[in-house]
Structure 1
Amino acid sequence: MKFSNNDKLNDIEKQLENLEDVALQINSNIAEPNSSKVKQRSKVSLTEPKPGIGNTTNYKSVGPKKCIGCGKQLQMDDKRLPGFSLDIAKQDLCLRCFKIKYYNKLVEQEINDEDFIAIIDEINQTKNKIRYYYVVDMFDLPGSRLTWLEKLISKKEVVILVNKIDLFPKSVKKLKILNYVKKYFEDSAIAGSKIIFTSSLKVDYISPLVSELKSIDYDQYIIGISNAGKSSLINACLKFNHQIPSIVTSKYVNTTLDKIKINFTENNYVYDTPGLVKHNHIAIATAPNYWDFFFFQKEIKQVTYQLNAGQSIFYGGLAWFSFVEGQAVNEKNNKPIKTNFHFYVNKQMPLHRTKKVNAQHYFKKNRYSLSPRLLSSDSDFEVHTFLYNDDKKIDLHISGLGWISFRSYKGMKLEITVPKTEYGIRVSELDALI
């Protein structure tokens, strides 16, 4: 940001900026001759109009300098570890956050889940009054919950932030969603907590959240699983509050790596915290260039298929749903009746119908041309089977892909086939929402 209208000073600033680019590039090439050439300019800095508000990560800090994008301590020793910077004195972002922010490029680094758990445990040890904002993703409600974390935070004040509410069709009443979420958390250690609907894209949802945050005069912490939208929410709140949205956000997991202190006023603040890895999410089985299919910002769509027993629906080249057996029959004429299955998915997600007996062959034949597709071309699969003996409305959730809504009946058998991963892809059965 320029602080003077003097043309001579502006020219000098531009020359210094160009020299800085050259120096950083030389330094980068010396450290790694064969690396791609990426500049790291000091474009993001704490330039709030009033000191002590906004991202105050390094404000009046007597300790080591931290990245204002992810919160990690800056270091120049090991590029594989979080916080690596080409020049700590001149940079406010680590190289990883810089590349994510300006190049949408992920820098692979060693990230330890235990570090995240230790941060949450440390916060929870305080005897002072604090408030947790537990962020869950409405599109992936089962996949964004951590029951052990809910038990850990239940001893403190908790507010459940139901994020990405704008992804739902406008026809779905908010009161219905609210009652659904309340019922969903009935067996949780944080049952009865205040629930707030949020979205980082809609001012109508940001305004009440900012008012809520600014009404609290004790420590507040935003927590939740990675990519639930914590950092995006804080940036949206900063922007609404006429401050700089400086926290780095992306479709990649674990963008935030340590606590980041955000002041909305001089005496009112909230901490953004790292997200715990979505081990049970379908994105784990794909390459990062496909993650736009799972972490998106547009309203979901409903696609209805009328299926006979023995038919399958593919989600690109990732997984498939099968109506195995239990064909409904018209009692009057004894003819088979097709069953309606409603798929709630990202609008970009391609769906394809085929016969169940051909499913494995279809996948093997088209696995290199389908999109999105799995990271490994020879992935093993596991099958989740569901048998029904009664009549009720059901939602089957696949973490990252959305859900399938239908009415069950006696003798119905369904299968969901997903790739095998280290922790398994979460497939959940819930009462129907829509």
Structure 2
Amino acid sequence: MEELFCIGCGVKIQSEDKEAAGYTPRSSIVKAEETGELYCQRCFRLRHYNEIVDVHITDDEFLKLLHEVGDSQALVVNVVDIFDFNGSIIPGLSRFVAGNDILLVGNKKDVLPKSVKDGKVTQWLTERAHEEGLRPVDVILTSAQNHYAIKELINRIDELRCGRDAYVVGVTNVGKSTLINAIIKEITGDKDIITTSRFPGTTLDKIEIPLDDGSYIFDTPGIIHRHQMAHYLSAKDLKYVSPKKEIKPKTYQLNPEQTLFLGGLARFDFVQGEKQGFTAYFDNNLKLHRTKLAGAEAFYDKHIGNLLTPPDAKEIAEFPQLVRHEFTITEKTDVVLSGLGWIRVNGQAKIAAWAPEGVNVVIRKAII
């Protein structure tokens, strides 16, 4: 029997194991022979009902794909999330891609305040990439959701690949498949061929997009970055870590020994320093609450699940404990909670950021 593949996520179709990747009822396969559109049940349910069906992909399979990229003579199109740069870097990518050229694509440009200039963001991304050992040949800013700069991206890929294949790589939830969909639509006019969602880990196998010169653009699965906030949230709460609209920064004048709660997901303590403004960059729907540091732990225990949400009351039992990370800041700095957002510290301060166990907290040069 001819091997069949899902046109949504690229996984091999099978009708034997309902729990395994690629499961599709035989009746759907027969119907697809007429329509020419064959989706696995997972993609079908995601597209039509916004339901996710978990399928386990091993780290070894992701590593195998990265090695395949490194063994190819190709252009590597590395998509990162501008909103969550630190959480969207693939660990060790420079090692895997060997001598291949890298085009760095900063997606979700539309989420940053409009006042932020493209040139400044591009320079900032270049500096951060260099810190990670990456030397991109160029940096392009896009918004896959709004089709911003898609034509420019296609032209740049074509210029830089010099007749070679192009591999699009990125961690989960950076908007990579949405970007590929935008590229396909621009090239062919087809809409929403690849399954997209807010859920980490949607593309299950390499998807080939043929180009006129016989080369391909390969869309690869999102590499799972286990230190992102998204991996600790329920499906309904993922909206708080995937902003779809321009962020409206909120500035709080804090005295030492004051605390900001970021819903019930995280916390920021101003431990020591002169009174100053701290600017919060998070999804507009995330409720922030200011209180005194002295009683912050008791306040959290009392109000988690009601005043401080998400998580809601039903989700508290499954939500990890918050872990404290302390920093001494000497210049304008972003304190980043991976996948959730960041707080800009403007001057000298001793601060502590609390995040769920397993979620990275880092400091970096301020982006804004």
Q: Scaled by the length of structure 2, what TM-score is found?
A: 0.91
**What are the ranges of 5 or more consecutive residues in structure 2 without an aligned counterpart?**
33-37
- The secondary structure found in structure 2 opposite 1:177 is helix
- The secondary structure found in structure 2 opposite 1:90 is helix
Does residue 1:64 correspond to 2:9, yes or no? no
**Structure 1 pair 213/243, CA: closer, same or farther in 2 (3 Å)?**
farther
* Number of the residue aligned with 2:367: 433
Does residue 1:362 correspond to 2:362, yes or no? no
Code of the aligned partner of 1:342: T
Shift of 1:268: 4.7
Does residue 1:288 correspond to 2:235, yes or no? yes
Kept in 1: contact 2:102–2:135 (CA 8 A): no
Shift of 1:180: 1.1
Does residue 1:278 correspond to 2:225, yes or no? yes
* Number of the residue aligned with 2:83: 139
Q: How does 1:301-340 map to 2 (within 5 A)?
A: 301-326=248-273, 328=274, 338-340=275-277
* Number of the residue aligned with 1:387: 328
- Could you tell me which of 226, 242, 255 is aligned with 2:202? 255
* Number of the residue aligned with 1:240: 186
Does residue 1:82 correspond to 2:82, yes or no? no
Kept in 1: contact 2:305–2:316 (CA 8 A): no
Shift of 1:110: 2.3
* Number of the residue aligned with 1:26: none
* Number of the residue aligned with 1:118: 64
Q: Deviations over 1:31-82 (max 9, x none)?
A: xxxxxxxxxxxxxxxxxxxxxxxxxxxxxxx951011111110111211111
Q: Deviations over 1:302-358 (max 9, x none)?
A: 0000001111111111110011123x2xxxxxxxxx310000111111111111122
Kept in 2: contact 1:222–1:272 (CA 8 A): yes
What is the rounded CA distance, in whole Å, between the counterparts of 1:270 and 1:264 in structure 2? 7
Shift of 1:213: 3.6
What is the rounded CA distance, in whole Å, between the counterparts of 1:65 and 1:429 in structure 2? 46
**What are the ranges of 5 or more consecutive residues in structure 1 without an aligned counterpart?**
1-61, 329-337
Kept in 2: contact 1:238–1:264 (CA 8 A): no
- The secondary structure found in structure 2 opposite 1:304 is strand
- The secondary structure found in structure 2 opposite 1:413 is strand
What is the rounded CA distance, in whole Å, between the counterparts of 1:63 and 1:186 in structure 2? 46
Q: Deviations over 1:396-419 (max 9, x none)?
A: 11112211112232xx32111112
Kept in 2: contact 1:396–1:430 (CA 8 A): yes
What is the rounded CA distance, in whole Å, between the counterparts of 1:305 and 1:290 in structure 2? 25
- The secondary structure found in structure 1 opposite 2:364 is strand
- The secondary structure found in structure 2 opposite 1:185 is helix
* Number of the residue aligned with 2:309: 371
What is the rounded CA distance, in whole Å, between the counterparts of 1:348 and 1:263 in structure 2? 40
**Structure 1 pair 277/74, CA: closer, same or farther in 2 (3 Å)?**
same
Code of the aligned partner of 1:148: G
Of 265-274 and 248-257, deviating more is 265-274
- The secondary structure found in structure 2 opposite 1:69 is coil
Shift of 1:214: 4.3
**Structure 1 pair 247/192, CA: closer, same or farther in 2 (3 Å)?**
closer
What is the rounded CA distance, in whole Å, between the counterparts of 1:292 and 1:171 in structure 2? 24
Kept in 2: contact 1:317–1:363 (CA 8 A): yes
What is the rounded CA distance, in whole Å, between the counterparts of 1:77 and 1:366 in structure 2? 47
Q: Scaled by the length of structure 1, what TM-score is found?
A: 0.78
Shift of 1:382: 1.0
Rg comparison, structure with higher value: 1
**Structure 1 pair 182/214, CA: closer, same or farther in 2 (3 Å)?**
closer
* Number of the residue aligned with 1:207: 151
Percent identity of equivalent pairs: 34
**Structure 1 pair 254/379, CA: closer, same or farther in 2 (3 Å)?**
closer
What is the rounded CA distance, in whole Å, between the counterparts of 2:153 and 2:196 in structure 1? 19
What is the rounded CA distance, in whole Å, between the counterparts of 2:194 and 2:240 in structure 1? 23
- The secondary structure found in structure 1 opposite 2:249 is strand
* Number of the residue aligned with 2:214: 267
Does residue 1:168 correspond to 2:112, yes or no? yes
* Number of the residue aligned with 1:97: 43
Aligned length: 354
Code of the aligned partner of 1:408: G
Kept in 2: contact 1:139–1:402 (CA 8 A): yes
Kept in 2: contact 1:138–1:165 (CA 8 A): yes
